[in-house]
Structure 1
């Protein structure tokens, strides 16, 4: 199946002239590393904290609301500054949310919002968005992200990224797609809201979580890494978790496009 970021309107984000230069700087390919979730989960710590609820009404639980358990790492490393204020810390998928995601996808989004919608294809597009955004931020190229980031998110990131030094900025980069060893949609939210004119506004929010092991592609090439709990535990200080949230308006008569309203990178050892 040809890659499609949910609909033709979303693909225009990646075709925009402002983003094309950034896209050529990063490798937009799919990860070939097997997603051994069970083995990885045994090796890492499940660490997340609650986020502030959004000030909107929801048909289904939105990705703006999270509540997870948080454990402290025994040997934390230096913590990256936050790109956004009060971000959620999502590390592992939720079984109940996964079931709800499938129901929302097949019973609401596909029949009523976007007939071409595919959650699997969306995640593939989300991985491309991660590469574009992460590598642009790593070189301070915020201007190329104006069409991809939500306006409020862009403003917040622009203010907070000033606290990053050169080394911290470089740590945001994801130069090798093969280093992304796990990707999953954490939560799909359907947002319904009546505006001042009495029109029912409709939005879809999808939060995607990425697990990245820095240098994984090189470790595999040199034979220094064998998939399994012990290997991930040995290299856990190189593991970065990225939480990205995507939103699109589906209000009748509105030609919405997918934008990103949450960008959060954190080291597993920081959590």
Structure 2
């Protein structure tokens, strides 16, 4: 699976400030209710009005993310990125990888949502596909819909653990764990989604309100760097919070 860069900015149809790892509720009036604990990261959106028809104004904006990272983890992952460039792939770039991972996440999550398991072959590890198929077969339709993440609905992406290892046969592997935060309009029962974030945003003009949830997903990407092996990344782990746990 190739991981080309995605270009452009994510957009959401309202002005909001969302603190990840906290619950935030926004209403039409713009009032917020936040817990007192400090955030791990923040997503902010600065609105810019534009006119879609006479007498009505809509908003569209670019999303900017401000993150607070554990300095030990940040330093450790930078060492791993250096080792990957030095010993495995001199053209490796974590920013390009992250953008490509977002595209892969959007594509694979859409296939999962539509239960197109045959299409996952070559993208997802073979031994993982039957497990996903079994879990998805037990999920209600609303949960399947919530698996899908369009690229413009991905609000934040963070690289996690990085691993470099060899097996008993001397084959070389690199794995990179990616965490995604994305929006969904799927109607999910509150008792099934305890702990997820939700808020209201205004789409279009007055009175057109839609409630969206912020969900998280973890995808692990693995590539074998043994000489003669195709340079493809494969997804070896998939977790969708409260959906595919």
**TM-score calculated relative to the size of structure 1:** 0.57
Q: 1:254 to 1:160 in 2, by over 3 A?
A: same
Are 1:214 and 2:196 counterparts?
Answer: no
The 5 Å alignment of 1:155-234 reads 155-175=130-150, 177-195=151-169, 200-214=170-184, 219=201, 221-222=203-204
Q: Give the deviation of 1:222 after TM superposition.
A: 4.2
Contact between 1:138 and 1:172, CA under 8 Å: does it hold in 2? yes
Q: Establish whether residue 32 from structure 1 lines up as the match of residue 10 from structure 2.
A: yes
Summarize the Cα distance change of 1:93–1:157 in structure 2 as closer, same or farther, 3 Å threshold. farther
Q: Does 1:243 align with 2:225?
A: no
The RMSD of aligned alpha carbons is 3.3
Contact 1:202 1:249 in 2 (8 A): yes
Given the alignment, which residue of 85, 90, 105 partners 2:81?
A: 105
Unaligned runs of 5+ in 2: 25-67, 186-197
**CA displacement, residues 178-197 of structure 1 (integer Å, 9 cap, x when unaligned):** 221110101111112232xx
Equivalent residue pairs, number = 180
SS at match of 1:171: helix
In 2: Cα distance, 1:204 partner to 1:185 partner: 13
| Cα distance change of structure 1 residues 169 and 93 upon mapping to structure 2, 3 Å threshold | farther
Q: CA deviation at 1:214?
A: 2.5
**Cα distance in 2, alignment partners of residues 126 and 247 from structure 1:** 11
Post-superposition Cα deviations, 1:12-50, rounded to whole Å, max 9, x if no partner, equal x88xxxxxxxxxxxxx7654359xxx96247359xxxxx
The unaligned stretches of length 5 or more in structure 1 are 1-9, 15-27, 46-91, 225-234
Quote the Cα distance in structure 2 between the aligned partners of 1:120 and 1:179: 19
Aligned to 1:211, the other structure's residue is in SS state: strand
Q: Which has the higher strand share?
A: 2
- Relative to its length, the structure with more helix (as a share) is 1
Q: Distance in 2 between matches of 1:93 and 1:152?
A: 33
TM-score by length of 2: 0.63
SS of match in other structure, 2:19: helix
